[in-house]
Structure formats: structure tokens, C-alpha cells
Structure 1
């Protein structure tokens, strides 16, 4: 579960990098027809957001490796 959350966070970070540098939203282009209003793109954004919230628990995990 942690690896999946990390992958989703990386996808979100790359998407934000593209938005910041080039004003290009890769997720919306691939899954929503080029706009953030696409239904499937919104699902992807939601899943990435949940993964980000889940990853907050990594900060408080006492089992460091």
C-alpha cells in the first residue's frame, strides 16, 4: 500500500511540475479531454489526493528502515 501511495504521489508531483513549468495538465489531457472538469480526470485527482493524505502517516511511523 505504501508503494502504491508513493507512486501516486510521484504522478501528482510530476503533473504539478508540468502545470507549473508549461501550463500543461497531463492528467486532464490523458483522462479528461484536456480540461480539469473531465469525470475520469477528477477520479484520478481524488485518488492522488487520498494517497497524499495516507502518506502523512509515514511521518509518524516509528519503524524506520
Structure 2
């Protein structure tokens, strides 16, 4: 995996984990770090989607360390 691909994957994972926090706790980590209103009001369905995206991001962490993707290129 090249440097750009790895950096893009890291950003996707960070974004997904942020959505997980929004879905579970209605708390926005990125906004807490860079300023703004850190509590987000969301509907129940949107919170479920945020949690699913967050769990997918946590699953994607394995791709950072997967040597088979490096051989495929």
C-alpha cells in the first residue's frame, strides 16, 4: 500500500470513529478538537447509520497492517 493510500485510509478510519462517537454519545471529536458545538442532535435511524459506519472504520484498521494488500499491487 502506497503512502497516499495509507494516509487516505487513516483519514477514513478517523472519520468513521468520529461518526461512531456521534452515533453512540452524540459527541463530535473533530469539533471538540478544532472548535464548535460538540453535541449533535440526531434521529435514532441516523445514529444507527453512524454506529455502523464507525464499526466499519474500526474493521478497516486491519487493512493498515494487512500484508496481502501490499503484494496485490
Q: TM-score, normalised by structure 2?
A: 0.46
Query: Any unmatched runs of 5+ in structure 2?
Result: 1-7, 28-39
Q: Among 14, 21, 26, which residue is 1:6 paired with?
A: 14
Q: List structure 1 segments (4+ residues) > 6 angstroms apart after TM superposition.
A: none
**Aligned-residue CA RMSD (Å):** 2.9
Query: Any unmatched runs of 5+ in structure 1?
Result: 20-24, 33-37
Kindly indicate whether the alpha-carbon contact (under 8 Å) linking 1:6 and 1:55 is maintained by their aligned counterparts in 2: no
For residues 7 and 59 of structure 1, what CA distance do their matches in structure 2 show?
A: 19
Q: TM-score, normalised by structure 1?
A: 0.50
Question: How many matched pairs?
Answer: 47
**Given the alignment of the two structures, is residue 40 of structure 1 paired with residue 49 of structure 2, yes or no?**
no
Higher RCO, Cα 8 Å, sep 6+: 2
